[in-house]
Amino acid sequence: MRVPLSWLNEYVELPKGSTADSVMAELVKVGLEEEGSHSFSLVGPIVVGQVLEFVEEEQSNGKTIRWCQVRVAPPGAKAADGGEDVRGIVCGARNFEVNDKVVVTLPGAVLPGDFKIAARSTYGHVSDGMIASSRELGISDDHEGILRLSTIGLDPEVGTDALELLHLSDEAAEVNVTPDRGYCFSIRGIAREFSHATGAKFTDPIGLVTPVKADGFVVKISDAAPIRGKVGSTKFVVRSASNVNAQAQTPAWMVSRLKLAGMRSISIVVDITNYVMLEL
């Protein structure tokens, strides 16, 4: 079971400065087995940039690149790496337009796989950073082009820390749950165990559910061969949701948590279903 710390912290008070290792150390005290820690393996500076202009240039190998001017800090301000507010960046993707806001990895940043970003000479230019895709950031397997923040419902200020914006600074503790501890296959269950181990305050999400005043309805299930010859559950609880926009984008914070929990984002309806499954 992978447990993103930001998620866990919503239901139990983690000590300030908690890490995946420190959380696992406490969970071991109540009989869970330590497996390891997970993160997005990103190091900044990684910021929000805005494409000011670009020129398409065809190369001798038949490839067309875009030589872009990208603002990475407010006008006149220093960028997160101490450099200028506008950078020249070579980009091979073509799925963006002028004024699009994107994620820019500046020199000094490190991407998954220990890929270090630096100013590099390429295609006749010095590319002072890189415009990143979701795949390069470790968010998803999408490699159809760079990540345009508008496509996930975001319009942040230029220069904003993209790691915080996209919730990519989080990490997850992974514990092995033994067969007799099935209630720990949820964030709720792990939070309760952490509370038992440390005495930290536990807030049960079940207590936050608004009671339903409407009458229920009868559900009949025909099972001619119940397990071990015994009838199973006699009560089912459901909640309905209406007017769901199945085309809506999954919020960045939910994508991040699902990824750290070991699941990939599919669609808003599937993601919400998986999120609730993991949480409760």
pLDDT digits (tens, 9 = 90+) for 16-50: 999 999 999 999 999 899 999 999 999 989 999 99
pLDDT digits (tens, 9 = 90+) for 60-113: 888 899 999 999 999 989 999 999 999 999 999 999 999 999 999 999 999 999
Tell me the mean pLDDT in the region 243-257: 91
- What is the structure's pLDDT at 127? 95
- Provide the angle, in degrees to the nearest 10, between the axes of the packed helices 187-198 and 268-279: 30
The CATH T-level fold of domain 46-165 is OB fold (Dihydrolipoamide Acetyltransferase, E2P) (2.40.50)
Residue 220 in this model has a pLDDT that exceeds 80: no
- The residue extents of the domains of the chain are 46-165
SS3 of 21-74: the string is HHHHHHHHCCCCEEEEEEECCCECCEEEEEEEEEEEEECCCCCEEEEEEEECCC
